[in-house]
Structure 1
Amino acid sequence: MGTTDRVPVPLLMRMTAHPLRWALMTELAASDRRVRELVQAVGEPQNLVSYHLRLLRSAGLVDARRSSFDGRDSYYHLDLSRCAAAFGDAAVALHPALAPSGRPWPKDCSVLFLCTGNSARSPMAEALLRHRVTGVRVASAGSHPKPRIHPNAARALREDYGIDLGAQRPQALDAVADRRFDYVITLCDKIREVPRDHGRAVATHWSLPDPATTGDTDRATYPEFRRLAAELDTRIGFPPMPTAMSSAHNN
């Protein structure tokens, strides 16, 4: 029996060993993407990109979610939390001293979260980032702000994270138009389709559905608000990284 028979290669290593899969994961580490954007980014045919995306999905590293803007489209999302755990396990399997440490948000950086109504996704992200990371300047805004923060957004943050949104009110994009940010993160598929200049900011998209549309009553939608908060909290643990495509979406 050879050495390779006795020591199985971790699944993550088998997935990332292929150059195209690594390129796809690198793109998805920076932002949620549609297939056509991944095809453009890696310069390979769509059928080949789709094949390798299926392999990454079967390995549990990548997931897909229908666009809330255009239901014919899907956004692919890299599960960074699972990747971190898998990379850590693989490193420790090689040598315990190789256990990785996380990459923090840059000191004194400024972050803007954008969605349509600024009543749930973006204010929740703003509050969670401010709660988790000290020394960051963070704001949120909406293209069509609602009159108030959704009560389930406030409830989910208060009950699960001890965060009080207090008297916070949704605000329009005009309120932050004169400010410059290091990171601009869109959380709504619709607002991502509106071209705008974010200067030198790293532009990232997190494709997240509006939790308020998942039921007819606040009671029915509350579990989705809690799920959204948990996903936001996880994603905040992985600061966005710049790519050429990130810069392209600034224009």
Structure 2
Amino acid sequence: MELSDQAAPAFVRLAAHPVRWRLLRELATSDYRVRELVERVGQPQNLVSYHLRLLRKGGLVAARRSSFDARDSYYHLDLERCAHALAAAGGALHPALGFDPPLASPTSFSSQAAPASRPAVLFTCTGNSARSPIAEALLLHRAGGQAEVTSAGSHPKQHLHPHAVRALAEHYGLDIADRRPRHLNTLAGRRFDYVISLCDKVREIRPDFPGHPRRVHWSIPDPATAAGADYPAFIRTAADIDTRIRYLLSQLARPGEVQP
């Protein structure tokens, strides 16, 4: 057998290196900037950047310019790509080990172990008019009453963006037309298990909440201000958020298995 026939699948070759595996583990919990990853993995910046380039080349990790500081970038893990790559690696070892990624299709808590108590989740963005209310509605839908979910903004708009309302109604059957944006200040003193920022700008504010909630960042551009800010941009944003939420469900159902 030729060496090329014996080569390990690409996912195994990429993930097997200890620094890359640690980077994948960190990015599985939140989006981070390079300097934050340097601190979390305890390796020099040039080494972290080198391994991030390999992970990007392999399609497991992607990067987006920060909307807070365009000179900076946030890295995030492509969970769907990782799931399919891991499944393909199992199948390459033995046909019986190949499997369909369990979260390749929409899921809810009905297919998860119900959490011992309902986790409280807060989604934040600047205007609370598109990204965070989309996330709130989708998690409420997916969790099926097994989570307490709300959203708020640092500078809330007067109304939800009509394209956000339309995207949820047409593609997910969810009606949020009567909802109104709220300010983060209205939630002062509330306890949350997770505070998830979807906006690079609001992440810098880091509002205080009691109980030391787990802070997660999803660096998602505002579809209302991004280039080509039309209705399809909101559909893509909702799809991106929905993918992240479907994987978040596993963390909410088994909170002790994924460490911050």
TM normalised by structure 1 equals 0.88
Give the one of 146, 163, 171 matched to 2:157. Answer: 146
CA contact (8 A) 1:145 1:171 kept: yes
Tell me how far 1:106 sits from its aligned partner. 5.8
Which residue of structure 2 lines up, in the alignment, with residue 20 of structure 1? 19
Q: One-letter code of the match for 2:245?
A: I
Structure 1 portions without partners, runs of 5+ = 244-251
Cα deviations by residue, 1:104-155 (Å, 9 ceiling, x for unpaired)? 4862211110011100000000001111221111100001111010001001
Shift of 1:101: 4.4
The equivalent of 2:48 in structure 1 is 49
User: Residue 121 of structure 2: SS of its match in structure 1?
Assistant: strand
Aligned to 1:40: 39
User: Which residue does the alignment assign to 2:232?
Assistant: 223
8 Å contact from structure 2 (residues 125, 197) kept in 1 = yes
Structural mapping, 1:29-108, within 5 Å: 29-95=28-94, 96-97=96-97, 99=99, 101=102, 104=112, 107=115, 108=118
- Structure 1 residue aligned with 2:107: none
RMSD of aligned Cα (Å) = 2.0
Cα distance change of structure 1 residues 230 and 105 upon mapping to structure 2, 3 Å threshold: farther
Determine the structure 1 residue equivalent to 2:212. Answer: 200
Match for residue 211 of structure 1?
A: 223
Structure 2 match to 1:171 = 182
- What SS does the aligned partner of 2:152 have? strand
**Residues of 2 paired with 1:5 and 1:229: CA distance?**
41
Question: Secondary structure in 1 aligned to 2:124?
Answer: strand
Q: Cα distance, 1:215 vs. partner?
A: 5.3
| Runs of 4+ with deviation above 4 angstroms | 100-106
Q: CA deviation at 1:185?
A: 0.4
Count of aligned pairs: 239
Describe the shift of the 1:215–1:8 C-alpha distance in structure 2 as closer, same or farther (beyond 3 A): closer
Deviates more, 1:91-100 or 1:47-56: 91-100
Matched letter for residue 212 of structure 1? A
Distance 1:184 1:148 in 2: 22
- Three-state SS of the structure 2 residue aligned to 1:181 is coil
**Aligned positions of 1:151-166 closer than 5 A:** 151-166=162-177
Secondary structure of the structure 1 residue equivalent to 2:132 = helix
Report the residue type matching 2:123 in the other structure.
F
Residue pairs, 1:107-146, within 5 angstroms = 107=115, 108-134=118-144, 135-146=146-157
Question: Relative to 1, partners in 2 of residues 1:186 and 1:105: Cα closer, same or farther, differing over 3 Å?
Answer: farther
Give 1:194's aligned amino acid: I
**Residue type of the alignment partner of 1:242:** Q
Farther off after superposition, 197-206 or 110-119: 197-206
Gaps of 5+ in 2: 104-110, 252-257
**Range with greater deviation from structure 2 (116-125 or 39-48):** 39-48
Matches of 1:16 and 1:5 in 2, distance apart?
19
Task: Identify the residue that residue 190 of structure 1 maps to in structure 2.
Answer: 201
- What is the CA deviation profile of residues 177-216 of structure 1, one whole-angstrom value per residue up to 9, with x for unaligned ones? 2221111100000111113334332110000111111358
Partners of 2:88 and 2:98 within 8 A in 1: no
**1:21 counterpart letter in structure 2:** R
Q: Is the 8 A contact 1:203 1:242 kept in 2?
A: no
Q: Quickly say closer, same or farther: Cα 1:106–1:30, change in 2 above 3 A.
A: farther
Indicate conservation of the 8 Å contact 1:152/1:225, yes or no: yes
